[in-house]
Structure 1
């Protein structure tokens, strides 16, 4: 990475962590394209997964009192299974395929969003959970599908953020483990993650504080703003 790009990357990292702590997800919306542009698609996606995994440990601790373990377990298990499969495919896939998969992932999310999911929320949640994991493991980001899968659990704002944090943690840790074993992530990448710990702590604190202040209605707006952000990335890639 060119030295002049470091400030841009660190700003993007901080913004991603703060958004993720506020909404429970959305960090990959900022981090994946930034690191993919600066490091290349595969290396950027892999490092983004490592950084988001580390940040999700901080998020889970921050929201430890509102973690809906019982309700979130089915989604967590399906996301982990889908992520493992997608991450394995990612290792052997040509870089161009991975780039196309990112665009197709958003396309799938866009199509899902046009369906009337209210009638089929309980049925659709497991399907979306597995699909979000597979998309995340293969392309590095699954925000829209993950958001829809967890929102279908009908949780209040704080428990929704807690569930999203749990699901994100499991998905990103799964990807990180697979890609470390495949040598896509090295000791140098882990040093970068360690250097970002202060950013994680500050950004998570600020994001959680913002979440507390905006209330249920404000959070609903933030949630769908993040969803629209993913859709915007889809349109930009067309």
Structure 2
């Protein structure tokens, strides 16, 4: 990648960290298409898992006073099992199938956001957690599924982000181990990962500050505008 391209990628990676730290979820929805466009779908998903797992360590530290270990334990276990299944499927799947999975999850996430499906209390938290991990393992993002599962725990805002951070770390760490064993990460991925380390702390601080002080309406508009553009671009790449 050129210097300009690398700067653009790192800027969007930073934005992903900030989104994730402010809402507890959603960072992968920006990071995965960004990395998939520049590195390819499989390597992009693999690098996103590594970066998000590392960033979740920062989030766990930031939200260390509001980590609901007991309430979230079963959700976390189901996400890990699902992530192992999904990421194993990704390793064996053709590149085009992974790209289709990414696009489908982004469209589903946008539809869920528009219809406010995240606020539904379904009572099927364990099943949703497994599906969340499996879809995240294959496409790089779980869309609204993880949010719905964690909402069933009936947590306040800070504890919700704490639970999401624990669950995301467990799932991303599982995926990273499987992807590393399959040797999906190339030289460019390693260099981006190293360059992104200081951005994790900065993005976590930014997101945590937003979580405490501001609403998310403007942030959501910007986020989904970027997402719509990337989804169109992924469609174009799929048709090439």
Q: Following the alignment from structure 2 to structure 1, what is the Cα–Cα distance between the partners of residues 78 and 230?
A: 25
**TM-score, length-scaled by structure 2:** 0.85
Match of 1:171 in 2: 171
Q: State the alpha-carbon separation in 2 of the partners of residues 11 and 57 from structure 1.
A: 20
Matched, 1:9 2:9: yes
The normalised TM-score by structure 1 is 0.85
Matched, 1:88 2:84: no
**In the alignment, does 2:33 pair up with 1:37?**
no
What SS does structure 1 have at the residue aligned with 2:210? helix
1:132-162 deviation line (CA, Å, top 9, x unaligned): 1000000111131111111221110000010
Structure 2 gap segments, 5+ residues each: 236-240
Give the superposition deviation at 1:108: 5.2
**Residue 230 and residue 81 in structure 1: after superposition, are their counterparts in 2 closer, same or farther (change >3 A)?**
farther
User: Which residue number in structure 2 is paired with residue 183 of structure 1?
Assistant: 183
Q: 1:208 to 1:112 in 2, by over 3 A?
A: closer
| SS at structure 2 position matched to 1:153 | coil
Change (3 A) 1:85 1:52: same
State the 1:172 CA deviation: 0.7
Question: Does the aligned pair in 1 maintain the 2:118–2:148 contact within 8 Å?
Answer: no
Aligned partners of 1:58 and 1:200 also within 8 Å: yes
* Number of residue-to-residue matches in the alignment: 233
Q: C-alpha separation between the residues in 1 aligned to 2:138 and 2:33?
A: 15
Matched residue, 1:137: 137
Paired with 1:76 and 1:195, the residues of 2 have a C-alpha distance of 29
1:109–1:207 distance in 2 versus 1, CA, 3 Å: closer
**Contact map agreement 2:34 2:230 (CA 8 A) in 1:** no
Aligned to 1:28: 28
Q: 1:197 to 1:17 in 2, by over 3 A?
A: same
Deviation larger for 60-69 or 139-148: 139-148
SS, match of residue 122 in structure 2:
helix
Q: Quickly say closer, same or farther: Cα 1:110–1:182, change in 2 above 3 A.
A: same
* Conserved 8 A contact 1:29-1:229: no
Query: Residues 102-158 of structure 1: CA distance to partner in whole angstroms, max 9, x if unpaired?
Result: 233345557778698878532x21121111100000011113111111122111000
| 8 A Cα contact 1:83 1:174, kept in partner | yes
1:222 Cα deviation (Å)? 8.0
| Deviation of the 1:60 alpha carbon | 0.7
1:11 CA displacement: 0.5
Shift of 1:49: 1.1
Unaligned runs of 5+ in 1: none
Structure 1, 11-20 or 100-109: larger mean CA deviation: 100-109
